[in-house]
Amino acid sequence: MKNRLKVLRAERNWSQQDLADRLGVSRQSVNAIETGRFDPSLPLAFRVAEVFEARIEDIFLRD
Amino acid sequence: MVGRHPSIWGAVFGLGILGIAWLERQGLIDWPWNVVLVVVVSLTLIPLGRAMRHRATACGTDSPAMRAYTRRSMIWAVGYIVLLGVALTARNTWHPQGPVLWFLALLPSLPILYLIWSMGRYLVEEQDEYLRMRQIQAGLIATGLLLVVATVWGFLETFGIAPHAESWWAVAVWALGLGLGGAIQNLRDRQDREP
């Protein structure tokens, strides 16, 4: 699944570690989601949406 | 020294234990020096544990569950060496029979059972779903490797080509596969690492 994590991070000047700390996950998890190697569960996708104050469908896009 | 790669400490520990086993087999050392040497070599598990944690932090795969898993790994490794040494020494010295022999034969399997429990416990305790999935994938790679090795070796044994392999080798092969699976994932993660 495609996503806009990298762009949203860049807009806020956050590193992967910064986002990982906000989500309470490892930096490797953020990396894996960002590069499309891992699709997060619904609870984690909701947490990502909350952190970026956006809707899930504005962050995660269909292939 | 702690900054060294965990594999270096792992190799030092493994070679140390193999060296002690060789010295003992050659009759060059006996009790209590074998125990003293095992304790000295086991001390390398402390920097190994620290190096594993530093590595996990650097790779972004550190978590409380992983730290607990690493700590438990140290416990079973030391426990296995000690109990195996005790069981073999007691059998070779006193040649017990009956229930005592049963007890001694089962003694080295206790830390391995603890290892299996700790691996299951890690999956329960890990809150990071990606890290949990990584471990499950590594476990599947390990299971695949074990099935391949057991099948091929089994038929080689049936046809009288390969010598008999004790079934406790299963955990060793599985653990090797787990390490292999982890290494494959680290390699894949490194390719996508943020600059």
Domain range for A20 is: 2-56
Q: Would residue A42 count as lying in a domain?
A: yes
* Chain A residues in contact with B194 (beta carbon < 8 A): 15-16, 31
Work out the burial of residue B55: count CB atoms within 10 Å of its CB; fewer than 13 is exposed, 13-18 middle, 19 or more buried.
middle
- Among chain A, residues having any CB pair with chain B shorter than 8 Å are 15-17, 20, 24-33, 35, 37-38, 40-41, 44
Q: Would residue A63 count as lying in a domain?
A: no
The enclosing domain of A16 has a CATH number of: 1.10.260.40
Provide the whole-model pTM.
0.78
Query: In chain B, what's the furthest Cα-to-Cα distance?
Result: 63
The ipTM of this complex is 0.91
HEC per residue, B57-98? HHHCCCCHHHHHHHHHHHHHHHHHHHHHHHHHHHHHHHCCCH
Q: Would residue A6 count as lying in a domain?
A: yes
Q: Would residue A61 count as lying in a domain?
A: no
- Nearest CB among A15, A17, A29 relative to B130 is that of A29
Q: Which amino acid is at A50?
A: E
Kindly report the CA angle at B87 between B21 and B38, in degrees rounded to 5?
40
Q: Would residue A11 count as lying in a domain?
A: yes
Residue extents of the structural domains in chain B: 1-62
Q: Would residue A47 count as lying in a domain?
A: yes
* Chain A residues in contact with B63 (beta carbon < 8 A): 26
Collect all residues with Cβ–Cβ distance below 8 Å to B188 and sequence separation of at least 6. Answer: A37
Per-residue confidence in pLDDT tens, chain B, 195 aa: 446 777 888 888 888 888 887 888 888 887 778 777 877 888 887 888 788 878 777 777 788 998 899 889 888 888 888 888 888 888 888 899 999 999 999 999 999 999 999 999 999 999 999 999 999 999 999 999 999 999 999 999 999 999 988 888 888 899 889 889 988 888 887 776 655
Name the domain count of chain A.
1
